[in-house]
A and B are shown apart, each in its own frame.
Chain A
Amino acid sequence: MQIQPVMSASLSQNRTTISTKAGLTEPYLIFNISLAGVIMLIMIYSGIFSPDKNDYPVVCIHEKITGEPCVSCGLSHSFSLILRGRIDEAYQWNQNGMRIFIFFAAQFLMRILFSGAYLNHPDSRKQLIYYDITGSSLLFLTAFMPFLIYIFKFS
């Protein structure tokens, strides 16, 4: 009579471990964690390099070849300035900096929220993925529209 509760406790523990393991091996969750990591790296890059020192390792190849700045020049400066709260200066460096920054910030939040929803609502997982794809695509088109126009204008 005394053994029964111990056994049931150990069984429930095993079940929890199995469900957590299954959750972490889900392709959607791996995908979300990886993308959130990449966005974090972008934010860290913008935070580490200073716009005042101008020590960014990434240079514009377009400008190097043509000698003229392109539509995405000054994006790193703009991101760094937004992170430091200097929005006016960020606009001066790149007009599209803010919308691209919002895209990345929104994507970071979406990865966390959608992962949470995916784990908590196993019945509507497919629906969630469709919402995610649609929302992210629209957000991408809105944020990167000036760049896409620029590419199609010249290609």
Chain B
Amino acid sequence: MEEAKSNSGQNLGIAALITGIITFVMAVIPCVGMIAIIPGIITIVLAAVGLSQAQRSDSPRGVIMAGLIIGIVATLISFSQYFVVGKFARNFESDKWPEKIENIVNDVQENVVRDLEDANVSIKVEDGDDTVEINVGTNKSDKEKTLEELEGADTTSNVSITVTK
């Protein structure tokens, strides 16, 4: 009976120590550091319950205290990860975001202009036996070719080109 009393709280202490070490390792890995706050709190609770049991029965508290300290440190490191993410996001936001957004807008603009330049529109209207088809090509290369042809044509004749918008 006496032996059982002296060991009370020890199992909780071991559980707290193991959970605390796992939490500690998790807390220093930035990818999962923020989640480590949950096992950190569990560690503190386990150690606190174990400590109260050990105090009541006057049993050794070394393992429980180790678990409690590691749990608290791990929870603090895990909590600091929130500040890390916050600060990182703020730095990232202030330094790179405007530049990146500007680049993306420029890229989109260039793509749209390029697509419109090379666009070919074809409209086909069918009414019974009658079919009307209109093809409009806005190819820049075609336009340049036509312009070259016009420029190379006989300039002695009076040719007037009227462009209507």
Between A and B, 21 residue pairs with Cβ closer than 8 Å are A27-B10, A27-B13, A27-B63, A31-B14, A31-B17, A31-B18, A38-B18, A58-B32, A60-B30, A61-B31, A61-B35, A63-B31, A66-B89, A66-B92, A70-B30, A70-B88, A148-B28, A150-B84, A154-B87, A155-B81, A155-B84
Contacts of A45-101 to chain B: CB distance below 8 A: 58, 60-63, 65-68, 70-73, 75
Known: A72-B32, A155-B83. 10 other contacts (CB 8 A): A38-B22, A61-B85, A62-B34, A62-B88, A66-B92, A147-B29, A151-B30, A154-B87, A154-B88, A155-B84
Check: B65 CB closer than 8 A to any chain A CB: no
Check: A144 CB closer than 8 A to any chain B CB: yes
The number of residues on chain B lying at the interface, defined by a beta carbon within 8 Å of a beta carbon of chain A, is 27
Residue numbers in B under 8 Å from A147 (CB-CB): 28-30
Residue numbers in B under 8 Å from A154 (CB-CB): 83-84, 87-88
**A34, A35, A60, A66 — most chain B CB neighbours (10 Å):** A66
Residue numbers in A under 8 Å from B32 (CB-CB): 58, 61, 72
Check: A112 CB closer than 8 A to any chain B CB: no
Bound complex: CA A144 to CA B29 (Å): 8
Instruction: Across the interface, name the chain A residue whose C-beta is closest to B63.
Output: A27
Contacts of B6-30 to chain A: CB distance below 8 A: 10, 13-14, 17-18, 21-22, 25, 28-30
Inter-chain contact B88/A72, CB cutoff 8 Å: no
Interface residues on A, range: 20 to 34
Inter-chain contact B83/A70, CB cutoff 8 Å: no
Inter-chain contact B92/A67, CB cutoff 8 Å: yes
Bound complex: CA A154 to CA B88 (Å): 7
Residue numbers in B under 8 Å from A68 (CB-CB): 88, 92
Hey, which bits of chain A sit against chain B, CB under 8 A? 27, 30-31, 34-35, 38, 58, 60-63, 65-68, 70-73, 75, 140, 144, 147-148, 150-151, 154-155
Inter-chain contact B30/A35, CB cutoff 8 Å: no
B-side binding surface: helix, strand, loop or mixed? Answer: helix
Residue numbers in A under 8 Å from B10 (CB-CB): 27
Inter-chain contact B30/A71, CB cutoff 8 Å: yes
Bound complex: CA A57 to CA B102 (Å): 34
Interchain CB contact (< 8 A) of B31 among A31, A60, A140: A60
Inter-chain contact A62/B28, CB cutoff 8 Å: no
Residue numbers in B under 8 Å from A151 (CB-CB): 28, 30, 33, 77, 80-81, 84
Residue numbers in B under 8 Å from A35 (CB-CB): 18, 21
Residue numbers in A under 8 Å from B81 (CB-CB): 62, 151, 155
B127 CB to nearest chain A CB (Å): 55
Inter-chain contact A62/B92, CB cutoff 8 Å: no
Residue numbers in A under 8 Å from B34 (CB-CB): 61-62
Contacts of B86-102 to chain A: CB distance below 8 A: 87-89, 92
One digit per residue, 1 when the CB lies within 8 angstroms of any chain A CB and 0 when it does not, for chain B 134-152 equals: 0000000000000000000
Instruction: Across the interface, name the chain A residue whose C-beta is closest to B35.
Output: A61
